[in-house]
Amino acid sequence: MKGSMMDSPLNLQAILERIPKIYPAVEIVSRLPNGSLHRYTYLDFYRRAKALAEALHRAGLQPGDRVGTLCWNHYAHLEAYFGVPAAGGVVHTLNLRLHAQELAYIVNHAQDRFLIVDDVLLPLFEQFRDKVNPERVFIVRHQNEMLPPGTEDYEDLLLTARGGYEFPCSQENDAAAMCFTSGTTGNSKGVLYSHRALVLHALAFSLPDSFCVSQHDVAMALAPMFHANAHGLPHVAIMLGCKLVLPGRQLDPQSILDLFSSEQVTIATAVPTVWAGILESLEKDPGRWNLAPAFRGFVGGTAVPEALVRKLDQHGLRLIQVWGMTETTPVAVCSTLKSHMREWSEDEQYRMRVRQGRALPFMEVRVVNDHGEAPWDGATLGELHVRGPWVASSYFNAPGTEDRWTADGWLRTGDIATIDAEGYVQIADRSKDLIKSGGEWISSVDLENALVGHPAVREAGVIAVPHPKWDERPVAVVVLRSGATATSEELRGFLSSRFAKWQLPDAFVFLDELPHTSTGKLSKLELRKRFANWQWEKAKLS
């Protein structure tokens, strides 16, 4: 046989080049900072992404150069998602919720050559601008204000394209995108995504036993495009030709639900706290929003409480639990039911749906403890390891982190989990969040998810607090729903039907809000800091 399948590499250019012939008229909708909606077609998007690629090439972009983006979810950010790698560069999404000092570190570590910045984020950019040295800075202008000195208009950059440009043919293993981890311990670490990883991830994501995405869907990239590829949904949507909705910076539940209803969104991605806020709005104002039939929302970042899944089902919004990391592009496993599980009771199905799920095709999972690889019995705990074609093999320019991978290429995730006989992963906790009391392990995740099942509880975090007798004991930090009341005794009694007495929190603390990370996850690190000086005597507990 002559030729090779590598003559047609899996790259983002191939996804882009389908647009003019296959689905040029499909719509992309973006909410702008002033609340108005920007609409254009896939063909418009294709032409502008191609103009961006040519303009960056003319500006001197070399293969592998990083182009940083400090942007919300909107059409111009989407153009960078594809235009930068289509020119041979690497689109580096900057987490706009990080501290300016951390952003400066990340831009310098990545050696970003160019930056694309939203005008509404200029106050943040100005906080670290003197600490970074990009060659050129392009501003996406949503308002007719003067450009800061030393910056250029993004639209003027596109006008430098002359047409007739042909995308270079990126090889599958060329870097296409970059994201830094949340940096909960030490400095953030950079993860590079290859063209091949992004394409294979999109294909596996869209399969019927994953999220069953098709061109008929209306996809909303609700998860931030500045972190972990917005859970991969923009790449899936552009590959399949879905109508795509981008919510901008208006991320309150009412604004999200308005878009769900007006654009008839059928699939969206978010962390549990976002879905919890959406549920609260649906319960407060039933009948206000007309959701599309067969709406699927997939939820990642942290484990989803069963109560949240059940209640959203009642509103026609079906959640699918996923698990992944920045290092896994990000989705590695998802929890859809197997065919024989349709015969199970409703309670059995819910218990399975809130597990993290089974590995996507081509992904491998295992649990390892001090005794070696654990059996798939749903009970034996160990650290979850993953391996696959869209799992990173190292961090970018980060010597000393090699021990995160085993000699045979498994990523050590740091999550403590079990795998059952059906192949479903269930995360018990992060290794640093497990509570060891009197020599026995307590899962903070299980306690948190159970607490959220109480009708008065909006959000809960459970942390280990040092104890003079038991080494550690759990303390629950709780946020109540607006207007609701609950006592420590009531919550302890509520948990007692599901947990042994020694597993129950010894104390309950009620707060107005819980701390969250830059990606919307509950920040256990911040909670542990707040309660580092906890004194059992003052709590009147032994």
- Token pair of 188 as six digits: 């953030």
**DSSP secondary structure, 403-453, as one string:** GGB-TTS-EEEEEEEEE-TT--EEEEEETTT-EEETTEEE-HHHHHHHHHT
Do the Cβ atoms of 444 and 435 come closer than 8 Å? yes
Which residue do the tokens 């209306």 mark? 218
Query: CA–CA separation, 78 vs 40, rounded Å?
Result: 12
Which residue do the tokens 């909708």 mark? 29
Rounded CA Rg of the chain: 24
Query: CA–CA separation, 481 vs 459, rounded Å?
Result: 8
Nearest to 425, CA basis, from 309, 514, 303, 312: 303
Q: Where are the alpha helices (DSSP H) in 111-206?
A: 122-128, 154-159, 195-205
Kindly state the helix (H) or strand (E) to which residue 393 belongs, with its residue range.
Answer: none
Kindly state the helix (H) or strand (E) to which residue 151 belongs, with its residue range.
Answer: none
Which residue do the tokens 């320019």 mark? 397
Cβ neighbours around 155 below 10 Å, total: 13
The domains found in the chain, sorted by start residue, are 10-25+39-196 (3.40.50.12780), 436-530 (3.30.300.30)
Tell the burial category of 512 from Cβ atoms under 10 Å away from its Cβ (0-12, 13-18, 19+).
exposed
Nearest to 127, CA basis, from 201, 70, 177: 70
Q: Where are the alpha helices (DSSP H) in 426-523?
A: 444-452, 488-496
3-state SS class at 474: strand
Low-confidence ranges of the chain (pLDDT < 70): 1-6, 183-186, 438-440, 537-542
Burial 284-311 (b: 16+ CB within 10 A, else e): eeeeebebbeebbbbbbbbbbbbbbbbb
- Token pair of 459 as six digits: 């959000």
Share of the chain above pLDDT 90, in %: 80
Which amino acid, 515?
P
How far apart, in Å, do the first and last CA atoms of the chain sit? 77
DSSP annotation of 146? P
Which amino acid, 350?
Y
Name the pTM for this structure: 0.85
Do the Cβ atoms of 38 and 253 come closer than 8 Å? no
Which of 126, 135, 145, 441 is the catalytic position?
A: 441
Cβ neighbours around 486 below 10 Å, total: 18
Write down the pLDDT at residue 123.
Answer: 95
Query: CA–CA separation, 191 vs 327, rounded Å?
Result: 6
Query: CA–CA separation, 221 vs 297, rounded Å?
Result: 11
436 annotated active-site: yes
Which of 131, 284, 432, 436 is the catalytic position?
A: 436
Write down the pLDDT at residue 429.
Answer: 75
- Token pair of 132 as six digits: 């970074």
- Token pair of 486 as six digits: 């609950």
327 annotated active-site: yes
**DSSP secondary structure, 286-305, as one string:** TTS--PPTTEEEEE-SSPPP
Query: CA–CA separation, 222 vs 29, rounded Å?
Result: 13
3-state SS class at 28: strand
Query: CA–CA separation, 433 vs 430, rounded Å?
Result: 5
Which of 69, 93, 181, 517 is the catalytic position?
A: 181
**pLDDT tens, position by position, 134-150:** 999 999 999 888 999 99
β-bridge mates for residue 373, sequence order: 368
441 annotated active-site: yes
Residue 77 C-beta-side C-alpha neighbours within 13 Å: 33
- Token pair of 164 as six digits: 């007739």
**pLDDT tens, position by position, 102-130:** 899 999 999 999 999 999 999 999 999 99
- Token pair of 400 as six digits: 């000393």
> How big is the CA angle at 125 (ends 122 and 130), to the nearest 5 degrees?
130
Write down the pLDDT at residue 271.
Answer: 87
Do the Cβ atoms of 453 and 351 come closer than 8 Å? no
Sheet of 218-220, strand order: 37-41, 27-31, 243-246, 218-220, 267-270, 295-299, 317-324, 331-334, 358-359
- Token pair of 185 as six digits: 């311990």
Kindly state the helix (H) or strand (E) to which residue 365 belongs, with its residue range.
Answer: strand 364-369
Which of 102, 327, 448, 459 is the catalytic position?
A: 327
79 annotated active-site: no
Write down the pLDDT at residue 536.
Answer: 72
